[in-house]
Amino acid sequence: MAKQNPKDPEEEKIEKLEKIWKNFQKKIAQLRIEQLEIIKQHNKKRDEEKIKKLEKELNQ
Amino acid sequence: MAMREKNSPQQSAEQIKTPEMKKTSAENLALSKLQEMETEVEDIKATGTQKAYDGNTTKKLKGISQKAEGLMIDTAKEMQGTLSSSERALKAKTRRPSYIDEWVAEKEKMLFEKEGIKHEPIRRPKVDVEDLHKMQAERMSGLAKIGKVMKEMEEDKEKGAKGFYRRVEDLYNALPDEYEDTPEINEQINKVLTYSKKFLNMHSRHQISLSGEQVDGVQSIIDILSKNKKNIKEKLTPLFEEEKAA
């Protein structure tokens, strides 16, 4: 009977930790995207206001 | 040649390390990931504050930073759980990775202090009954604040928390001032208790995302509902006191 090699507990721990880490990275990446979207919207609004102001000055 | 190798800076550092400092590779990995996590979260916080944004944007960015901090603490706890459960499975002498405990406690304290809640970190390696009671009492004083956090959860549909605060509030309103051991009241208590546990399970299965503080809030409700039922009304009161005063 061929003996099944039991998985090294240390290896198992590392595998679990890697999985948790990947999950964290995925979630943190989502948060970064959300953050960039907020900043992007802010900048867009700011630029639009600047253009409006300049157009108003030109028309005066 | 051999002597030169022996005196290399790397080897000297190895020699300085005490046995306690020589962690297993899984523990080392957890520690390095904790540090990486901290850097990532600090980076998110820094990005959100490097410029002066308008009120609404600042509020949204603050929300992102808080979510990142909560995620960091939850992940650290998960890592800690992996290490200790594996150790139990091995039936080895429990050698808790105390440096991770300390790290989690420090971050939790930081979050609680930010919200103005006095928070005593959980000292897991040596918890005695007196400590537990003291901790519980301090948790209760922070309940009003947690009530506010849960109220926000109710409003934040993204978290899937809709209805949690309302359920606890309904139970609170239904409870008579003097506890009566009736099947109706007990059924109501058990319903909220089951819902709260389910809610935390959803969080651990990543079906919803709660911050460390919100998890603490739900855990406090579970603690209150599953212990001495006679004091439930009294214990839940701080949660709704702020509401009444407003």
Q: What would the pLDDT profile of B97-147 be if each residue is shown by its tens digit?
A: 555 666 777 777 777 677 666 655 545 445 556 666 666 656 555 565 666
Residues 6+ apart with CB under 8 A from B67: A31, B209, B211
Find the closest chain B residue to A25 by CA distance: B37
- Residue B181 gets the label, from left (phi > 0), alpha (psi -120 to 50) or beta, of beta
pLDDT at residue number B176: 77
Q: Dihedral of the CA atoms B15, B19, B25, B29 (nearest 10)?
A: -90
Cα(B27)–Cα(B30) distance, integer angstroms: 5
CA distance B38 to chain A (A): 11
Whether B206 sits inside 8 A of A23 (CB atoms) is yes
- By the 8 A CB rule, do B121 and B105 touch? yes
Whether B64 sits inside 8 A of A24 (CB atoms) is no
- Residue ranges for chain B with pLDDT beneath 50: 1-22, 87-96, 122, 124-125, 245-246
- CB burial of residue B121 (10 Å; 0-12, 13-18, 19+): middle
Cα(B124)–Cα(A59) distance, integer angstroms: 70
Task: Number of A to B CB contacts under 8 A, please give it.
Answer: 67
pLDDT at residue number A21: 92
Residue with tokens 């995925």: A26
pLDDT in tens, A25-49: 999 999 999 999 999 999 899 899 9
pLDDT at residue number A38: 92
Whether A38 sits inside 8 A of B57 (CB atoms) is yes
Three-class SS of B79-104? HHHHHHHHHHHCCCCCCCCHHHHHHH
Nearest to A16 among B67, B68, B82 (CB): B82
Long-range contacts (CB closer than 8 Å, 24 or more residues apart) made by B136-141: B136/B223, B139/B216, B139/B220, B139/B223, B140/B235, B140/B238, B141/B117, B141/B238
pLDDT at residue number B15: 46
Cα(B29)–Cα(A10) distance, integer angstroms: 11
Give the best residue of A7, A22, A31, A32 to mutate against chain B (max B CB count within 10 A). Answer: A31
The predicted model scores a pTM of: 0.43
pLDDT at residue number B152: 62
